[in-house]
Amino acid sequence: MSQPMRARHFTPIAPLHDAPLGPSVNRSDIEDAISDALRGVVLGGYDEIVCGRLVRQLDVTSLRTLVSMTERVRTAGMVEALDLENAIHARTDRARQEIRELEHPGH
């Protein structure tokens, strides 16, 4: 049995300026790639119906584009979360330094 198609193998995960290319795929591969792109997302019944419609009604190039955008949204969210975490750490470090200076003036 072959491995499920991963989003990064299905399409480039980068801004697309032309129709994305990728390996020859069947419906199962496309479903796997969409599932991989949506990993961690809790899907409801209607969400599943819409995903099925996308696979049946859109061409592979459009599906590659959607998977690429979904992966890029995930990456952007992770970068934003890391930036926020770094800002919180920097603020905490500054607050600790201010407390030390108040507790030990002149040091």
Q: So what's the pLDDT on residue 103?
A: 86
Q: Is 56 helix (H, G, I), strand (E, B) or coil?
A: helix
More confident: 79 or 38: 38
Helices (H), 24-59: 27-37, 45-57
Token digits of residue 8:
């990064």
Listed residue (13, 1, 51) closest to 30, CA to CA? 51
Q: So what's the pLDDT on residue 13?
A: 95
pTM, two decimals, is 0.72
Residue 77 CB coordination number (10 Å)? 10
